[in-house]
Chains A and B, each alone.
Chain A
């Protein structure tokens, strides 16, 4: 069972490496690229969270849930 899961993950990891051409690069390059991917992902995530989310909220007139919680919290306090 566990072996099956490991095999499945290994196989699709291999397929992922292949379509991104990371299959044929050296290990440190693979790590570098993955770090870059991770950094990019985090930057996008933060951008979406901080800018895009409040922007769309403003346009559509939706109050973000975090603001409501903050307001509730301040009322209780």
Chain B
């Protein structure tokens, strides 16, 4: 069965239309390889993800983020110069790449599902569908009937509505739960009950305080108190809550300009542009960068916003297997050699590789150094979506780029959101000055969408300054270290328990596989009774087979909180039968 919401995979080859389009990216190439070696390329990799030395890692090509953030003047000088060593990355030895690939394999785990569980999951799903159809025959709710439309075909009838009414509705109490507090390390859920199996809910008037393992609050900046909240409040009082205009009209303030500059500095690139909505950053900016006649190589687990953007652009999309470099190279080589079949084999206008830093459903990390090597080999462009990785990865919180210590200028388009680590909202695109200038004139999100609200921008500005250490404290660094420790500890403890988790050991998104729908419901409900709030993810956001519980770790969590959660998870994994893993387990206690 196909993926409904297209949340991952599902990008099929699109129709091509001819249109004249400024081949911007081609101009972009070879133009700006700013010399970052002045910022010092030294020992950035010594402390991996702020946590532990790792000898097998390749040395950075031109790592500078750390020094850029602390010593911006040097970096400013460095910009614009021609880099004498810029060809270094092109010559990345094959051995290093091989080592990187090996390291990726050892650190990333996608354990196979046991056969009997796979069979049961499919059988259970068919059972639910059959029951759903029987249910639909017998009980059609009032909302599902479209009245006074004689002669018209139904407007709202789709598999989606059937699915959400007769499958999802049964466990609807586990999703979209109303909260009534700031989602920090703990969150207050508003209790509700259903008397008609999920068709409607009534509030009981009580509240449940839960440990929050479900928010993308990676660095713990979502807080009702503290410098971020205070400054945002001050800004709200001074500048109001909304600009009520787009950026190109009346919606630009000094705060927005400062935020853009700070973002560029934070990422170690020339310029950045910010948008008020993270989803729209992908969906509306991709169409201004690519057009029909371009080829996009998209990872199969890319987010829905990317898929929507690609469809809007009309470019041809080829999907490669998740994080599979061999498959990516195969598709790349084939398309470079054979060109665009619809244009009689002429070369593609441009080829764009589109990946995410941390994949939100899989918990895996992009194999960035290998992709950069491939991109340079085949002269393709790279668009990196750092929605989940920015702030959460790397010794300086600089995302996947920082984590691998690669030169940020090797990534042509750096995209990310402020919704996660910065505890705010919106998104950014960063890169060379020419790229950003081009977007300022051509991006629909810049021209037409409402500007970012001032208190939101202030929250980002304050939290970003803290991560960079510009406030004179080491709070940001402590948060990054805490997150890295929490992540390692939580993942290793889960592995020791014998549950199946997906992804990379340094990724703060931890999906725990439970496979069956009922188990998603049972786990979420049981954990709520034990005062732990988690997110369950099932079809259509994942394949039918792979229902999962997703834990998102935060720097705000303490070891005691994690220990409590882990003990409860251990207990319920026994009672609900979640310990599917057949891997050898660590016999010794895990150190925090």
Nearest Cβ in chain A — how far from B15, in angstroms? 39
Q: Mark B100-141, 1 if CB is under 8 A from A, else 0.
A: 000000000000000000001001110110010011000000
Say whether A18 faces chain B, with CB atoms less than 8 Å apart: yes
Are B577 and A15 touching (Cβ within 8 A)? Answer: yes
Which of B123, B128, B516 sits near A18, CB closer than 8 Å?
A: B516
Size of B's binding interface in residues, CB under 8 A: 21
Residues from chain A with Cβ under 8 Å of B521 in the complex: 23-24
Quick one: given A29-B131, A32-B134, A33-B131, are A21 and B197 in contact (CB under 8 Å)? no
Count A-B pairs with CB separation below 8 Å. 49
Assess whether A24 is in contact with B135, with CB atoms less than 8 Å apart: no
Q: Which residues of A contact B522 (CB under 8 A)?
A: 18, 23
Bound form: Cα–Cα A50–B581 in Å: 43
CB-CB under 8 A from B131, the residues of chain A are 25, 29, 32-33
Say yes or no: is A26 at the interface (Cβ < 8 Å to chain B).
yes
The residues of A that contact B575 with a CB separation of less than 8 Å are: 11
Bound complex: CA A31 to CA B152 (Å):
38
Q: How far is the CA of A58 from the CA of B563 in the complex (A)?
A: 65
Which of A18, A26, A32 counts the most B-chain CB atoms under 10 A from its CB? A18
Min CB distance A18 to B, Å, is 5
Question: Of A11, A15, A21, which one neighbours B128 at CB under 8 angstroms?
Answer: A21
Q: Does B26 contact A (CB under 8 A)?
A: no
Query: 1/0 contact trace for B47-71 toward A, CB 8 Å?
Result: 0000000000000000000000000
User: Is B179 an interface residue when CB atoms closer than 8 A count as contact?
Assistant: no
The reply to whether A19 and B127 form a contact with Cβ atoms under 8 Å apart is no
Q: B517 in the interface, Cβ–Cβ < 8 Å?
A: yes
User: Are B518 and A18 touching (Cβ within 8 A)?
Assistant: yes
Decide if A20 is an interface residue (CB 8 Å cutoff).
yes
A17 on interface, CB distance cutoff 8 Å: yes
The interface residues of chain B lying within 8 Å CB-to-CB of A25 are 128, 131, 170
B193 within 8 Å of A (CB atoms): no
Residue contact B127 to A20, C-beta cutoff 8 Å: yes
Residues in B neighbouring A20, C-beta threshold 8 A:
120, 123-124, 127
Q: B170 — which chain A residues lie within 8 A by C-beta?
A: 24-26
Q: A29-B131, A29-B135, A33-B127 are in contact. Are A24 and B518 (CB under 8 A)?
A: yes
- Bound together, the chains give a CA A26 to CA B135 distance in angstroms of 10
Please tell me the number of chain A residues within 8 Å of chain B, measured between CB atoms. 15
Cβ–Cβ contact A19 & B197, under 8 A? no
- Point out the residues of chain B lying under 8 angstroms from A15, CB to CB: 576-577
Centre residue among B170, B518, B519, B575 by max chain A CB count within 10 A: B518
Chain A residues positioned under 8 Å from B336 (CB to CB):
none
CA distance A26 to B139 in the complex (A): 13
- Shortest Cβ distance from B514 into A: residue: A18
Interface string of B495-539 (1 = CB under 8 A from A): 000000000000000000000111101100000000000000000
Given the complex of chains A and B, what is the CA–CA distance between A67 and B133 in angstroms? 46
The docked-state distance in angstroms from the alpha carbon of A25 to that of B170 is: 7
Query: Which residue of the partner chain B has the closest CB to A25?
Result: B131
A21/B516 contact (C-beta < 8 A), A26-B197, A33-B127 known: yes
Given contacts A23-B521, A24-B521, A26-B197, contact A18 B576 (CB under 8 A): yes
CB distance from A38 to the nearest CB of B (A): 15
Asked whether any CB of chain A lies closer than 8 Å to the CB of B83, the reply is no
The answer for the CA separation of A39 and B4 in the assembled complex, in Å, is: 34
Q: Does any Cβ of A come within 8 Å of B171's Cβ? A: yes
Task: Assess the B124–A19 pair: CB atoms within 8 A.
Answer: yes
Q: Verify B135–A21 contact, CB threshold 8 A.
A: no
What is the distance, in angstroms, from B545's C-beta to the closest C-beta of chain A?
A: 13
Q: Which residues of B contact A33 (CB under 8 A)?
A: 127, 131
B197 adjacent to A18 (CB under 8 Å): no
Instruction: Evaluate contact between B171 and A19: CB separation under 8 angstroms.
Output: no
Given the interface pairs A24-B518, A25-B170, the reply to whether A18 lies near B127 with Cβ below 8 Å is no
- List B contacts of A22 (CB < 8 A): 127, 518
CB-CB nearest in chain A for B515: A19
Find out whether the CB atom of B134 lies under 8 angstroms from the CB atom of A21: no
The 7 closest A-B pairs by CB, nearest first: A21-B124, A23-B518, A24-B170, A18-B518, A24-B518, A21-B518, A29-B131
* A21-B128, A23-B522, A24-B170 known, 9 other contacts, Cβ within 8 Å: A11-B575, A15-B576, A18-B519, A18-B522, A19-B120, A19-B124, A24-B171, A32-B134, A33-B131
Interface residues of B (CB under 8 A from A): 120, 123-125, 127-128, 131, 134-135, 170-171, 197, 516-519, 521-522, 575-577
A interface vs B, CB < 8 Å?
11, 15, 17-26, 29, 32-33
List 19 A-B residue pairs with CB atoms under 8 Å apart, sorted by A's residue number.
Answer: A18-B522, A19-B120, A19-B577, A20-B120, A20-B123, A20-B124, A20-B127, A21-B516, A22-B518, A23-B518, A23-B522, A24-B170, A24-B521, A25-B128, A25-B131, A25-B170, A32-B134, A33-B127, A33-B131
